[in-house]
Amino acid sequence: MNRVYNFSAGPSMLPLPVLEKAQAELISYGDSGMSVMEMSHRSADYMAIIAKAEADLRALMQIPDNYKVLFLQGGASTQFASVPLNLIGTTKKADYVVSGQFSEKAYKEAIRMGFDAKCIASSKADTFSYIPAFTKDDIRPDAAYVHVCYNNTIFGTKFPEVPDTGDIPLVADMSSCILSEPVDVSKFGVIYAGAQKNMAPAGLTVVIVRDDLLDRALPGIPTMLEWKVMAENDSMYNTPPCYAIYMAGLVYEYLLEQGGLEAIAKINYNKANMLYDYLDSTDYYITHAQPAYRSIMNVTFKTGDEALDKKFASEAAKAGFKNLKGHRSVGGMRASIYNAMPTQGIIDLIAFMKKFEAENPKN
Task: Tell me, letter by letter, the H, E, C secondary structure of 34-45.
Answer: CCCCCCCCCCHH
> CATH code at 63?
3.40.640.10
Quick check: is 150 in a domain?
A: yes
Q: Which of 80, 57, 81 is nearest to 70 (CA)?
A: 57
**What pLDDT does 56 receive?**
98
CATH number at residue 307: 3.90.1150.10
Q: Is 335 helix (H, G, I), strand (E, B) or coil?
A: strand
Q: What distances in angstroms separate CA 93 from CA 135, 179, 238, one per listed residue?
A: 18, 30, 31
Q: Quick one: 276 and 252 in the same domain?
A: no
What does the alpha-carbon distance between residue 247 and residue 37 come to, in Å, rounded to a whole number?
11
Q: Is residue 20 part of a domain?
A: no
> What are the distances in angstroms from CA 158 to CA 154, 237, 298?
11, 34, 9
Same domain, 243 and 222: yes
What pLDDT is recorded for position 1? 62
- Quick check: 134 and 95 in contact, CB under 8 A? no
In order along its 363 residues, the chain shows pLDDT tens digits of 689 999 999 999 999 999 999 999 999 999 999 999 999 999 999 999 999 999 999 999 999 999 999 999 999 999 999 999 999 998 899 999 999 999 999 999 999 999 999 999 999 999 999 999 999 999 999 999 999 999 999 999 999 999 999 999 999 999 999 999 999 999 999 999 999 999 999 999 999 999 999 999 999 999 999 999 999 999 999 999 999 999 999 999 999 999 999 999 999 999 999 999 999 999 999 999 999 999 999 999 999 999 999 999 999 999 999 999 999 989 999 999 999 999 999 999 999 999 999 999 987
- The reply to whether 252 and 265 lie within a common domain is no
Q: CA dihedral in degrees (207, 209, 213, 219; nearest 10)? A: 20
Q: Are 150 and 159 in contact (CB under 8 A)?
A: yes
Distance between CA 141 and CA 143 in Å, rounded? 6
204 and 264 belong to one structural domain: no
Q: What are phi and psi of 71, to 5 degrees?
A: -105, 105
In the chain, the number of structural domains is 2
Q: Rounded CA gap, 57 and 255, in Å?
A: 10
Q: Quick check: is 3 in a domain?
A: no
Length of the chain: 363
Shared-domain flag, residues 114 and 223: yes
Residues 232 and 264 reside in one and the same domain: no
Vertex 264: Cα angle to 58 and 327 (nearest 5): 100
Q: Domain range spanning residue 74?
A: 27-257
Q: Please identify, among 224, 257, 290, the residue that sits at the C-terminal boundary of a domain.
A: 257
Q: What is the DSSP letter of 135?
A: -
Cα separations in angstroms, 346 against 106, 129, 152, 178? 32, 23, 20, 20
Same domain, 199 and 274: no
List residues bridging with 74 in a β-sheet: none
Burial class (CB in 10 A: 0-12, 13-18, 19+), 292: exposed
Mapped onto helix, strand or coil, the DSSP state of residue 188 is coil
CB atoms within 10 A of CB 67: 21
Does 5 reside within a domain?
no
- H or E stretch including 21? helix 16-24
Residues 285, 188 within the same domain: no
d(CA 293, CA 158): 5
Distance CA 211, CA 218 (A): 16
CA quadruple 34, 203, 183, 165: dihedral sign: negative
Whether residue 208 is found in the same domain as residue 281: no
Percent of the chain as helix, strand, coil, to the nearest 5 = 40, 15, 45
Strand, helix or coil for residue 143: coil
Same domain, 271 and 312: yes
- The burial of 250, by beta-carbon neighbours within 10 Å (0-12 exposed, 13-18 middle, 19 or more buried), is given as buried
- Strand (E) positions, 253-360? 286-287, 298-302, 321-322, 333-336
- Asked if 235 and 213 sit in the same domain, the reply is yes
Q: Are 15 and 339 in contact (CB under 8 A)?
A: yes
